[in-house]
Amino acid sequence: MPQQIDFLATQPHYIDHISPIWDALSIDNVGAFYVPQNLIGYAQSRLKNNMYLFAYENNSLDTYGLNPILVCAYGDMKHAHRMNPERQIYMMEHGTGHGFGTSAYPNGPGDRDLVSLFLPPNQYTADKIHTVRNTPCEVVGTPKLDWIAGYPFHHSSPATVCISFHHGGKRTRIPEAGSAFEHYKDSIAGLKQHFNLVAHGHPLSRVRDIPFYASINVPFIEDFTEVMRVADVYVNDLSSTLYEFMATGKPVVVLNAPWFRRDIQHGLRFWDYSDIGFEVNDLSELQKAIETTLLNPGLFLHRRKKAIQDLYPYLGHSVQRAAAVIHEHLKEDVVA
């Protein structure tokens, strides 16, 4: 009998990352797809195959399963291990592969040692993983972005600018892992006088973002797929969405904050791939950077293309790549 794999996703954006792989796997390979009870409806909207979708709260140690399990978040990995320490864990990232050196990130020591197979989005992240452990890695790309390959993106009229921030703040232990929101929030309302402005935000910052943008009458778009379709330029501090938007071929503006330390090298956004658009350091630079980007969307194009090539291998074919890798590893487990 073919080996099966279970899936676990406890946030909507985690579902977005792994659901395309579930639908691409052979029916013989899929076990159970676990989500919180309150996300059953969301998961149903994202999955073509809903047959084995279950609420994880309805399962116990006796019924949670023995199959290998795919996750794309540190917390989900920990939960899967607690529920069954014997099962194998396959782990993707739910982003481009930022690494801040703590246990929650690819290049951090600690609990990621529980993972038996990493499926990083790119070789850049695989190399970071291998700085701290020798766990097998298979680069698979970013399946949730396959739809943009060949998608007919159009410019809107008037041009639409989307601004977005990561979750957290400036008082985190690693300031670069937080957000530049506090630095720019008082200037955002003024941008409405010059641009058709919409907003987005990291899913974990919705409690902060949605009331804030409502208070300044800026439309908030929750679905980032819609942002990629409608926005002409994306303004962001450090979310993986900065790079996901760039993969559409459209330009970005990069927001720095005074607490982002220039002498600290985390890689990726800090500072290997920070030159993909205008880097704004001061409030007075923001409007000009957006205006110049809208007038000259080809600026930084060669740098964006290089970053896309490095960070999004298999773009358009990542789902097939991930499904094939998982299928092969499941076969190897059966033989073993």
Task: Give the pLDDT confidence score for residue 128 in this predicted structure.
Answer: 96
Give the residue ranges of the chain where pLDDT is below 50: 335
The CATH fold of domain 150-311: Rossmann fold (3.40.50)
- How far apart are alpha carbons 93 and 74 in whole angstroms? 9
The CATH fold of domain 5-145+315-335: Rossmann fold (3.40.50)
Q: What is the pLDDT of residues 151-182, one digit of tens each?
A: 999 888 899 999 999 998 776 788 899 999 99
Same fold, 5-145+315-335 and 150-311: yes
How far CA 258 is from CA of 181, 255, 280, in Å, comes to: 11, 10, 11
Task: Give the pLDDT confidence score for residue 62 in this predicted structure.
Answer: 57
Task: Give the pLDDT confidence score for residue 334 in this predicted structure.
Answer: 55
Q: What is the pLDDT of residues 246-287, one digit of tens each?
A: 999 999 999 999 999 999 999 999 999 999 999 999 889 999
Task: Give the pLDDT confidence score for residue 2 in this predicted structure.
Answer: 61
Instruction: Return the sign of the alpha-carbon dihedral for residues 286, 227, 219, 18.
Output: negative
Task: Give the pLDDT confidence score for residue 333 in this predicted structure.
Answer: 64
Q: How many CA atoms lie within 13 A of 156 on its CB side?
A: 18
DSSP symbols for 109-161: -SGGGG-SEEE-SSHHHHHHHTTT----B-----GGGGGGTT------SS-EE
The residue ranges of every structural domain in the chain are 5-145+315-335, 150-311
Which DSSP letter does residue 5 get?
A: E
Task: For helices 181-191 and 283-295, give the axis angle rounded to 10 degrees.
Answer: 60
